[in-house]
Amino acid sequence: MTTATAPQKIQKSKSQWQVIRTQFFRNPLARLGLFILGFLYLIALFAGFLAPYGLTEYSTSDRISWAPPTKIHWQDDGKFAPHVYGLKRDIDMETFRDKYTEDPSVKCPVKFFVRNPDIEDRTYKFLGFIPSSLKLMGVDEPCKLYLLGSDNFGRDQFSRIMYGSQISLTIGIIASLLSLVLGLVLGGIAGYFRGLADTLIMRLVEVLSAIPDLFLLILLRAMFPLEANPILVFYIVGGLLAFIGWGGIARVVRGQILSGREMDYVQAANALGASDARIIGQHLLPNSATFIIVAMSLAIPGYILTESGLSFIGIGIVEPYASWGSLLKLAQDGGFESLDTRPWVLLPGVFIMLAVLGWQFVGDGLRDAFDPRRRR
């Protein structure tokens, strides 16, 4: 008598990208980094909607400099009725500086999903091309809704942080993409053609790497006027960051192409008459996909920090636009007073830290997922 055995369940084999995705999401820090970046980039995407005020908007009647965060009162007579009170300016007799207190005689309800098309500064372009003036919340004059306080010009710090996220988070991706393109093209030319092209490109990389990055950035930025168009400055800074960062990528790509160009499939493609551009673009560079993905994810936080540093010392993003680095400069201007009386000016540094940590966690997770020796 024979016993029947239960049929074994056949497991389907996973593709390489499925294995990488599984390994990536097993890493708790990688998941945390992905969550942080998703949160920050959603803020950047909906910055105009989330910001109660425009980027440069301030009260023309009474400039409220260094106002503390506005306290929202959520109930009125036991009912849900969010409202804020007006601000009353006093003089602190100990420090002889402005002191703001709530004025209960002036009460303004907090309105949600409001439109103010008559105020030019509150009109923005959603997704970059859809004109809109819809705001998540707002209050009527003379009340103010300073969720994170105001700066020295009486502008809403929360709104400027929201708008600043668009520049600080975007410039890292733009600079990394530009440096990646430069590194792939020049590294591919140096590794495939060798000879004079290899010598010239590698000597240029050595010259750039011999000069400290910050000094080189300041030197190159000094070639352009500080009072240039802010949009032009944004692209200039992105281009400069890419110019100093492509050398490392070019070196690695060159090494991989030098080893790959002697492979049989490359020799076969060459014998069949494939052009040099086709061999480099479709046969050699795809082998560098792992390095490209990891290098980009790890390079972006470096570019975010570098742009923040340039804006912090006043040669990066200029007024009326703002980045997290230029907003953090307010803390330096205030000195120790920023820590004592207006700590909200330090909040852009928290956002910079979160963005850098998020990209570092994602980059480390991708590196471990692509490395078979680190898989679990």
Average the pLDDT over 266-271 and give the result: 77
With CA atoms as reference, report the closest residue to 301 among 23, 50, 36. Answer: 36
Q: Residue 145 to residues 97, 152, 163, 280, 317: CA-CA distances in angstroms?
A: 22, 16, 16, 56, 26
Q: What confidence category does residue 113 fall into, taking pLDDT thresholds of 50, 70 and 90?
A: very high
In the structure encoding, which two tokens stand for residue 308, read together?
Answer: 């923040």
What span, in angstroms and rounded, lies between the C-alpha atoms of 235 and 208? 20
Tokens linked to 271: 């014998």
Question: What pLDDT, in 10s, does the model give residues 196-214?
Answer: 888 999 999 988 888 787 7
Tokens coding 227: 């009072």
Tens of pLDDT, residue by residue over 46-84, are: 999 999 998 888 765 566 888 889 999 998 888 888 999
103 burial via Cβ count (<10 Å: 0-12, 13-18, 19+): middle
Tokens read off for 337: 């007073």
Domain boundaries, the chain: 55-154, 160-374
CATH (residue range 160-374):
1.10.3720.10
Is residue 2 scored above 60 in pLDDT? no
Region of 17 on the Ramachandran plot (φ > 0 left; ψ -120 to 50 alpha; else beta): alpha
Q: What pLDDT is attached to residue 10?
A: 57
The pLDDT of 149-158, averaged and rounded, is: 87
> Residue 41: its pLDDT value, please?
94
Under a CB-based contact definition with an 8 Å cutoff, are residues 320 and 230 in contact?
Answer: yes
Q: Considering the chain, what is the average pLDDT of its residues? A: 82
99: which strand partners? 90
Q: φ, ψ for residue 119 (rounded to 5)? A: -95, 110
Task: Inform me whether the pLDDT recorded for 241 exceeds 80.
Answer: yes
Dump pLDDT digits (tens) for 116-129: 877 777 888 877 77
User: Among 136-140, 143-147, 212-216, which stretch is predicted with the lowest mean pLDDT?
Assistant: 212-216
How would you write 55-109 as a 3-class SS string?
Answer: CCCCCCCCCCCCCCCCCCEEEECCEEEEEEEEEEEEECCCCCCEEEEEEEEEEEE
Distances in Å between the Cα of 180 and the Cα atoms of 66, 183, 187, 280, 288 are 42, 5, 10, 15, 12
* Predicted confidence (pLDDT) per residue in 330-373, tens digit: 777 665 566 677 888 889 999 999 999 999 999 888 888 877 66
pTM for the model stands at 0.85
